[in-house]
Structure 1
Amino acid sequence: MFLYMLIFLAYHSSRWIQRNQRLKFQIVNVVFAALVLAPQFYVMGRPKSSRYCRQPLLNNLSASIALSFIASGFSVIFTLMDPVPQGIWACYHVFGLLTCGHGLCTTILTLTAAACENTTPELYYMSLLLTVASIFSTGFFMVRGGLWLTSRLPATDPSRNNER
C-alpha cells in the first residue's frame, strides 16, 4: 500500500498549490518517481539478484516496478486534473487493493526468505524495505480509516444512558 499512499500524498499536497502553478509540482512528482524506481532498478540489475533464491523475490520486485510505474501515472493524473472524474477514483481504489495484496505477498515472501539474505542480499534487503514501507502505509490508512469512521458515526449523548 506504499504506492497507494504516495499517490494519496501527491494528490493532497498538490491541492495546496494554485491550479495554474501545479505544473511545477510535476518536478517534485518526477523526483519522487525516481526515488522509488531507481533503487528497484539498481537491485534488479545487480548480478547477485539473479542467483538462486528459494522464494520468488525477483518476480516480486518486477511486480513492484510495474506497480510503481502505474503509481507515477496516477500521481500525474491526480495532480493535473481538477476535479478528478469518479471513474479514475474507482481505478485508483482498485489499484489500492492491488497494492495491498502485493504488500501482503511481499511481507509473506520476505518473512519466509531468511536464507536468501546470504545468496541474494540486495534483493532480500529491498524486499525487506518494501515490507516495512507496506506495513507503515497500511497502518497509516488503518488509522485514517478509523478516524473517518468515528467522524461518520452518530454521536451519543452520555446523559441519555441513565434514562433506561
Structure 2
Amino acid sequence: MFLYLLILLAYQSSRWIPKNRRLKFQIVNAMFAGLVLVPQLYVLTRPKSARYCRRPLLSNLVASVALSIVATGFSVVFTVLDAVSQGLWASCHVFGLMSFGQGVCSAILTLTAASCAITTPELYEVSFCIVVASVLSTAALAVKGGLWLTKRRQQ
C-alpha cells in the first residue's frame, strides 16, 4: 500500500500548485521516486542477495521493484494531466489492490524468514522496511477511508 499512498500523495500535492508551475514539483516527484527505487535496486544487484534463503525474498524484491516503476509512472502521469480519466483512476485503484497484496506477501515472507537475516542481511532488511512502510501506509489509508465514509454518511 506504500506505493499506492505515494501516488495519491503526489496527485493531491500537485493539485495545490498551479498547472503552469508544476515542473519543479514533477522534478521533486521524480527524485523522490528515485529515493524509493535506488535502495531496492542496490540490494537487488548486490552479490550477497543471490545467496540461498529459504523464503523467496529476492523474488519479492523483484516484484516490489516492478511495482515501484509502475507507481512512478502513475505519479508522473497524475501530476502531468489536469483532468484524470475514470479509467486511469480505476487502473490506479487496481494497482492499489496489487500493492496491498504485495505488502501482505512481503509481511508473510519476511516474518517467516528469520534465518535469512543471517544469510542475506541486506535483502532481509529491505524486506523488513517494505513491510513497515506497507503497514504504516495501510493504517493511514484506513484512517483516511474511515474519515471519508464518516463524511459521506453525514451528507
Normalising by structure 1, report the TM-score. Answer: 0.92
Distance in 2 separating the partners of 1:109 and 1:23:
39
State the secondary structure of the residue aligned to 2:43.
helix
Q: Corresponding residue for 2:44?
A: 44
Aligned-partner residue type, residue 16 of structure 2: W
Distance in 2 separating the partners of 1:140 and 1:48:
34
1:82 Cα offset (Å) = 1.0
Rg larger in 1 or in 2? 1
More displaced stretch, 146-155 vs 115-124:
146-155
Q: Corresponding residue for 1:24?
A: 24
Question: Is residue 94 of structure 1 aligned with residue 94 of structure 2?
Answer: yes
Distance in 1 separating the partners of 2:117 and 2:94:
33
Aligned-partner residue type, residue 112 of structure 1: T
Count, aligned residues: 155
State the secondary structure of the residue aligned to 1:107.
helix
Normalising by structure 2, report the TM-score. Answer: 0.98
Q: Corresponding residue for 1:111?
A: 111
Where in structure 1 are there 5+ consecutive unaligned residues?
156-164
Question: Is residue 143 of structure 1 aligned with residue 143 of structure 2?
Answer: yes
1:47 Cα offset (Å) = 1.1
Distance in 1 separating the partners of 2:54 and 2:22:
46
Question: Is residue 62 of structure 1 aligned with residue 62 of structure 2?
Answer: yes
Aligned-partner residue type, residue 33 of structure 1: A
State the secondary structure of the residue aligned to 1:153.
helix
Runs (4+) of structure 1 exceeding 2 A deviation are: none
Aligned-partner residue type, residue 127 of structure 2: S
Where in structure 2 are there 5+ consecutive unaligned residues?
none
Deviations 1:73-127 (A, max 9, x none): 0001100101101110000000000000000000000000001000000000000
State the secondary structure of the residue aligned to 2:54.
coil
